[in-house]
Amino acid sequence: MAVDGKPLWRDCETTFARIDELCGDDASRLFAEPNAKEQEGGRLAVAWFSSFDDEPKRLGELDRGKRARIESNLAARIEALRPALADQGIGETVAAMLNVADEASIVAVGENAVLTNWGILPEEARSSRAAFVRHSEKTIGPYLPSGMSPRVPGQPWAAVGGFATAGLSPPRRVIVPEPAAASAREAQPAASARNRQAWLWPIAALSLVFAASLIYAAWPGNLVYPQALPPRTAAPVNSDEVNRIIEERIAKMNAELTKTGCETDSSVLGPLLDNGSGGPAAQSPAEGPAQ
């Protein structure tokens, strides 16, 4: 790629010096330094040298945390190029330098983002504005700060912030309009109200069950008490029969009393009385009067 007929790689040290002058020391270190050698058939072999001392790695080889740091570093380094992009002398050149050949052209060298194969576009990406935008979206576009874009020398094409300014591709950064933001704020109280209702339902259900139980218990005909039983009464006593039994017992006792001690039937007298010492009483009526 060339600007005013001058290849971007030719005398790029002068461009780097101007970038550092306008944007601050080391701002140009975002771009690796090319070392091109022409081979047979007119083909160029390019070796890229970074001013950072570490092994270059592709973004896809990094873990999530380091990749996030490298991407943030890349966006910050591109942001620092604003004064150079606005400069009449090198602005168009720097904008063309932001084009890279593919995603693998963005590498991490230690904790720093570095661009290799910069200023190169595949033939397809230069065929139309839409093709240029698609290529930019897949490569440098996601890391472009607002209002910044690579450029194709001699073309008015631009891909700002990862999407075409002419509306050829939908933007990647979505800004929520104010009405939607207001709706989001209104949704928060609504969600809180739904949460409160979710807590109140179980309490209300338990209260209804308890109230229903009280009404059921108090409703006539529903509460059942055990039937009161009549008091037990003693069976009527036949005094004549009792008297007959007693007289019969007395007659048997008198008959036994006329017998000697060995002939006496003690069963007529009933069980022996306990005197409290575990043995028979000292004297029972069956023994008769003392001799």
Dump pLDDT digits (tens) for 18-76. 999 999 989 999 999 998 777 777 677 788 888 888 899 999 999 999 999 999 999 99
218 within domain boundaries: no
Query: How many separate domains does the chain show?
Result: 1
Query: What's the average model confidence in pLDDT over 202-214?
Result: 65
94 within domain boundaries: yes
Q: Is the pLDDT of residue 13 over 70?
A: yes
222 within domain boundaries: no
> What pLDDT is stored for residue 164 in this prediction?
35
Query: What's the average model confidence in pLDDT over 78-85?
Result: 96
pLDDT tens across 125-177, in order? 999 999 999 999 999 999 999 889 999 998 989 887 543 333 333 333 333 33
49 within domain boundaries: yes
Q: Is the pLDDT of residue 278 over 80?
A: no
**What is the pTM assigned to this prediction?**
0.55
> What pLDDT is stored for residue 261 in this prediction?
63
* C-beta atoms surrounding 67 within 10 Å: 16
Q: pLDDT exceeding 90 applies to what percent of the chain? A: 40
Query: What's the average model confidence in pLDDT over 222-234?
Result: 50
Strand-pair partners of 3: 6
69 within domain boundaries: yes
* Residue 17: partners with Cβ closer than 8 Å, 6 or more residues away: 28
Q: Which residue has the higher pLDDT, 210 or 257?
A: 257
* Residue 10: partners with Cβ closer than 8 Å, 6 or more residues away: none
How many CA atoms lie within 13 Å of 196's alpha carbon, on the beta-carbon side?
A: 6
- Mean pLDDT, the chain, as a whole number? 75
Q: Is the pLDDT of residue 224 over 90?
A: no
> What pLDDT is stored for residue 266 in this prediction?
64
> What pLDDT is stored for residue 209 in this prediction?
64
> What pLDDT is stored for residue 200 in this prediction?
57
**Of 1-15, 163-177, 181-195, 219-233, where does mean pLDDT reach its minimum?**
163-177
> What pLDDT is stored for residue 202 in this prediction?
63
Is there a contact between 114 and 120 (Cβ–Cβ < 8 Å)?
Answer: no
125 within domain boundaries: no
81 within domain boundaries: yes
Q: What is the span of the domain harbouring residue 104?
A: 2-117
- Tell me if residue 45 falls in helix, strand or coil: strand
Copy the structure tokens of residue 57.
């790695």
14 within domain boundaries: yes
**Of 67-76, 81-90, 214-223, 247-256, where does mean pLDDT reach its minimum?**
214-223
Predicted confidence band of residue 213 (pLDDT cuts 50, 70, 90): low
